[in-house]
Amino acid sequence: MEEMKKAVKEISYEGYFYKLSEVVEILILGLLCQNKTLTEIHMWATSKQVKSMLKEKLGIKYIPCYSHLCNLVGMIDSNELNRMFMSFFGKLVKTVVGKTIAIDGKTVCATANMKNFSEALHIVSAFVVENGITIGQLAVDEKRNEIPAVQELVRLLNIEGATVVADALNCQKNTAKEILNAGADYVFSVKKNHKSLHEDIAEMIEFKLSDKAESRVAPLETITKTEKSHGRIEKRTALVTHEVEWLEERDKWDGLKTIGAIKTPSEIRFYISSRKLTAAELLKLTRQEWAVEAMHWQLDVIFDEDNSTLHERNTQITINILRKTVLNVVKTYRDNFMPKLNMVNVMRKCLLDTDFLLDVILGFDSCFDNISN
């Protein structure tokens, strides 16, 4: 938490000496206790037991009134906070070599109807699947700006050696170039927003699966797995080919090595990749694509983000970054110290027991120190 506190500087306000770093600390601790709003965080922080803990254990002597707290949160530079976030959690992950980074955007739905927002706030996040940790985000106005934001996020992050998975919206030639320039590989879902590419892949997959395929044509590599997903049994078949020379647009997609499909009883989805993937690898990577969606689901279920009533853009972004900070902290602590407890119950214990709350922070800090050393 010390690293995140460095993102803000001390200010004095109306005779009282408030530190923005202490405000960040209060926000993180309040969110760790599953408080959803600034009102809830302020009520929690000013309760007798918590107020005493903040003063005795953390040296936070002054808790601003609610209106001052809102003003102070608005003074936090969300861009600088995000820079510190990316630096800090990049160190925690240590290396992304051989790992999968899922990138996708999420709209904060409540902002669509707010006067201070010309368009709904949309935040693109990069999520390291193997660690279960978000390593960076960028905010844009409205979903249509997601494509350039993804490209900028790729430039900002150290993703060398990783495989980036993204949905059909981000299946873009320039995005592919940026990922390759960063020393990573891409796996993109292909839909009808690239009509000719989609049709060519569908035609080749269908041909190779048919009796018309000539003996000299290499067959598709396939693998089928039956998995339990969202309470139901799902059968998924991956099909891949490395014969990309027949593709009319192959020269437009830098590094293209694999064309594939995932077939279920209800649909078939197509993919392209700069890695020479096996069918088993494609099956795994396309499942990992949904990991970032699971994190977005946590933002809504745990923190009710889609109903957030924060009216300032900078404040919305700041709180979004701190929510993800808390999810990263809880995930790391849970995995290392309490693997049998789910994340929500870890946060509930934080709310009920201030000693346990401090243990979570100390435990997380020890994980970071071990990695740093």
pLDDT (tens digit per residue) in 156-174: 999 999 999 999 999 999 9
Residue of 233 and 364 predicted with greater confidence: 364
**Given this model, what pLDDT does residue 276 score?**
96
For the segment 262-285, the average pLDDT, to the nearest whole number, is: 95
* CA dihedral (351, 356, 359, 364) positive or negative: negative
Report residue 373's pLDDT band, with 50, 70 and 90 as the boundaries.
low
Token code pair at residue 21: 């770093």
**What integer is the mean pLDDT of 64-88?**
92
> Is 3 a residue whose pLDDT tops 80?
no
Report the candidate in 253, 107, 246, 124 with the shortest Cα–Cα distance to residue 190.
253
- Of the pLDDT bands very low, low, confident and very high (cuts 50, 70, 90), residue 308 is very high
- Average pLDDT on 31-40 reads 97
Average pLDDT over every residue of 192-217: 79
Q: What is the mean pLDDT of the chain?
A: 90
Can you tell me the mean pLDDT for 302-324?
95
Please report, as a single letter, which amino acid is at residue 221.
Answer: E
Q: Report CA-CA distances (Å) from 66 to 40, 193, 356.
A: 10, 47, 26
- Could you give the CA distance from residue 301 to residue 314 in angstroms, rounded to a whole number? 22
For the segment 262-271, the average pLDDT, to the nearest whole number, is 92
Q: Which of 78-92, 214-228, 355-369 has the lowest mean pLDDT?
A: 214-228
The band of 233, judged by pLDDT with boundaries at 50, 70 and 90, is confident
**Assigned token pair, 313:** 């853009």
Q: Give residue 214's pLDDT.
A: 59
Higher per-residue confidence, 209 vs 330: 330
Whether the per-residue pLDDT at 142 is higher than 90: the answer is no
Question: Which pLDDT value is given to residue 14?
Answer: 47
pLDDT surpasses 50 at 268: yes
Give the model's pLDDT for residue 246.
Answer: 83
Least confident of 14-23, 28-37, 145-154, 263-272: 14-23
> Which token pair is 128?
């390291």
Q: 59-84 in b/e burial notation, b at 16+ Cβ within 10 A? A: ebeebbeeebbbebbebbebeebbeb
Query: What is the rounded distance in angstroms from the CA atom of residue 8 to the CA atom of residue 235?
Result: 50
Residue 228 pLDDT grade (very low, low, confident, very high; cuts 50, 70, 90): confident
The letter for the amino acid at 29 is L
Sign of CA dihedral 52, 53, 56, 58: negative
Helix (H) / strand (E) element for 324: namely helix 313-337
Alpha-carbon distances of 267 from 198, 263, 289, 301, rounded to whole Å: 14, 6, 17, 28
pLDDT at 161: 97
Supply the pLDDT for residue 9.
Answer: 54
Lowest mean pLDDT among 17-21, 46-50, 279-283: 17-21
Is the confidence at residue 230, as pLDDT, over 80?
Answer: no
Find the mean pLDDT for residues 105-114. 92
CB atoms within 10 A of CB 103: 27
What is the b/e burial string over 18-28, where b = at least 16 CB atoms within 10 angstroms of the residue's CB? bbbbbbbbbbb
Q: Give the number of other CB atoms < 10 A from CB of residue 198.
A: 16
End-to-end CA distance of the chain: 17
Whether residue 359 is predicted with pLDDT greater than 60 in this model: the reply is yes
β-bridge partners, 268: 263
Whether residue 215 is predicted with pLDDT greater than 60 in this model: the reply is: no
pLDDT band at 338; cut points 50, 70, 90: very high
The contacts found for 283-286 with CB under 8 angstroms, 24 or more apart, are 283/223, 283/225, 283/236, 283/238, 285/100, 285/163, 285/165, 285/187, 286/165, 286/187, 286/189, 286/238, 286/262
**E runs forming strands in the chain:** 10-13, 16-19, 100-107, 121-128, 133-141, 163-166, 185-190, 221-229, 232-241, 258-263, 268-273
Bridge partners of 100, per DSSP, are 163
